[in-house]
């Protein structure tokens, strides 16, 4: 396993990590999640990602049960949670969502209870909240750090300007700013990571723990001939994912990308993950898996990404046609 520093912080994360979005409680049970987390940990993965909204809190409960059973040395792994959406779904009342001091504090306590942990390594603001002053968010996160309930804090799907505002406030008040962003990043969605955040990697030292490196499975090629039974895009409640990703143009590009994976003697999935971690600004790519074979195949990306030469990267760009255009002024 390779480990990368989280931005300018001292925290080291495995370049491949394990997440629970959609899968935990939705697609896998306790015994399978236990096996998958075990395989991940045994292969050097030290970062496990979660959030209050995943399966409305049940995902964190499941991960908590596994961690209790595993009894790994707590200092050997990192766990995250995220707050914004709340966990009560349609029953959320005012203050049970968003980034107010009240919700962030209560969401942190609830996550610790569900995960059966005494602290979170990383706590994310799952989305920006335009109804809450950024000062309130920065101060709340610092209070949670001072209380020992979280060690680092970050953002997810924030704009570069919003991240920089948080850093400006932190600097003015001698507080700790966000060290990590969690954006979507894959061969279809590149703008934020490659263009929008380009300057702030150097200025404030932003780390990235990217999600959806396989674009919800599109980049595995398994949707080229329809939606397989039990797959993520066939799940009830995830129609928005299907409508967003399952486009004929995307499938045509994936079919052409097969020529590159064939050259390397690897799978489309492994190639796509390898391409993501080839970017040095990616601290960790979060993997989601419902089978051990999927996870072990994805882990091969560590062997493939050093083989991605500049020529191959150009060939991939030509096939995908998704490279963002830098501004000309």
pLDDT at site 249: 75
Would you give the distance in Å from CA 130 to the centre of its chain? 22
Q: How confident is the model at residue 49 (pLDDT cuts 50, 70, 90)?
A: very high
What is the CA angle 83-43-50, rounded to 5? 10
Would you give the distance in Å from CA 247 to the centre of its chain? 23
Distances (CA, A) of 10 to 207, 219, 261: 11, 33, 35
Cβ atoms < 10 Å from Cβ of 157: 17
Q: Which of 54, 77, 84, 305 is catalytic?
A: 54
Once rounded to an integer, what is the mean pLDDT over residues 160-178? Answer: 98
Q: Which helix (H) or strand (E) holds 5?
A: strand 3-5
pLDDT at site 36: 94
Q: How far is residue 206's CA from residue 8's CA, in Å, rounded to a whole number?
A: 7
Q: Does the annotation mark 54 as catalytic?
A: yes
Cβ atoms < 10 Å from Cβ of 133: 13
Q: How confident is the model at residue 243 (pLDDT cuts 50, 70, 90)?
A: low
> To the nearest whole number, what is the mean pLDDT of the chain?
91
Q: Provide, rounded to the nearest whole percent, the portion of the chain with pLDDT above 90.
A: 81
144: CB partners within 8 A, 6+ apart:
104, 105, 108, 123, 150, 153
> Which residue has 């939606």 as its token pair?
227
Q: Is the pLDDT of residue 236 over 70?
A: no
Q: What is the pTM of this model?
A: 0.90
Structure tokens that stand for 125 in this block: 């603001």
Q: Which helix (H) or strand (E) holds 69?
A: helix 58-70
Burial of residue 234 (number of CB atoms within 10 Å: 0-12, 13-18, 19+): middle
Cα-Cα-Cα-Cα dihedral sign, residues 57, 60, 64, 70: positive
Q: How confident is the model at residue 240 (pLDDT cuts 50, 70, 90)?
A: very low
> Which residue has 């599109």 as its token pair?
218
**pLDDT tens, 274-292?**
999 999 999 999 998 888 9
Once rounded to an integer, what is the mean pLDDT over residues 207-226? Answer: 84
Q: How confident is the model at residue 225 (pLDDT cuts 50, 70, 90)?
A: low
Q: Is the pLDDT of residue 128 over 60?
A: yes
237 against 118, higher pLDDT:
118
First to last CA, the chain: 40
Q: Which helix (H) or strand (E) holds 301?
A: helix 301-304
Q: Can you name the residues that pair with 285 across neighbouring β-strands?
A: 16, 210
Q: Is the pLDDT of residue 229 over 70?
A: no
Render 89-140 in DSSP notation, one character per residue: GGGPPTTSSSS-HHHHHHHHHHHHHHHT-S-EEEEEESS--TTS-HHHHHHH
**pLDDT tens, 6-46?**
999 999 999 999 998 766 666 778 889 999 999 999 999 99
């Amino acid at each position: 396993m390779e480990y990368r520093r989280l931005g300018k912080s001292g925290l080291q994360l495995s370049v491949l990590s394990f997440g629970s979005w959609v899968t935990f409680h939705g697609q896998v049970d306790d015994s399978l999640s236990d096996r998958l987390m075990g395989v991940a940990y045994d292969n050097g993965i030290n970062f496990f990602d979660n959030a209050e909204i995943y399966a409305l809190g049940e995902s964190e409960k499941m991960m908590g049960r596994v961690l209790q059973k595993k009894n790994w040395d707590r200092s050997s792994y990192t766990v995250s949670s995220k707050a914004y959406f709340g966990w009560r779904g349609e029953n959320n009342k005012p203050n049970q969502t968003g980034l107010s001091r009240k919700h962030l504090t209560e969401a942190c306590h609830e996550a610790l209870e569900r995960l059966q942990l005494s602290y979170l390594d990383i706590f994310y603001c799952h989305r920006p909240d335009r109804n809450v002053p950024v000062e309130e968010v920065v101060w709340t996160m610092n209070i949670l750090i001072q209380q020992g309930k979280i060690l680092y804090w970050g953002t997810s799907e924030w704009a570069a300007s919003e991240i920089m505002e948080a850093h400006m406030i932190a600097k003015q008040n001698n507080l700790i700013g966000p060290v990590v962003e969690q954006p979507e990043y894959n061969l279809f969605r590149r703008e934020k990571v490659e263009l929008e955040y380009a300057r702030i990697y150097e200025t404030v030292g932003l780390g990235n723990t990217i999600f959806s490196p396989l674009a919800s499975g599109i980049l595995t090629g398994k949707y080229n001939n329809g939606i397989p039974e039990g797959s993520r895009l066939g799940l009830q409640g995830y129609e928005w994912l299907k409508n967003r990703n399952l486009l004929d143009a995307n499938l045509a590009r994936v079919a052409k990308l097969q020529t590159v994976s064939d050259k390397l003697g690897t799978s489309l999935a492994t190639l796509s993950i390898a391409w993501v971690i080839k970017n040095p600004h990616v601290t960790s790519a979060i993997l989601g898996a419902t089978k051990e074979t999927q996870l072990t195949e994805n882990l091969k990306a560590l062997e493939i990404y050093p083989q991605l030469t500049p020529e191959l990267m150009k060939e991939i760009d030509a096939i995908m046609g998704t490279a963002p255009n830098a501004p000309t002024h």
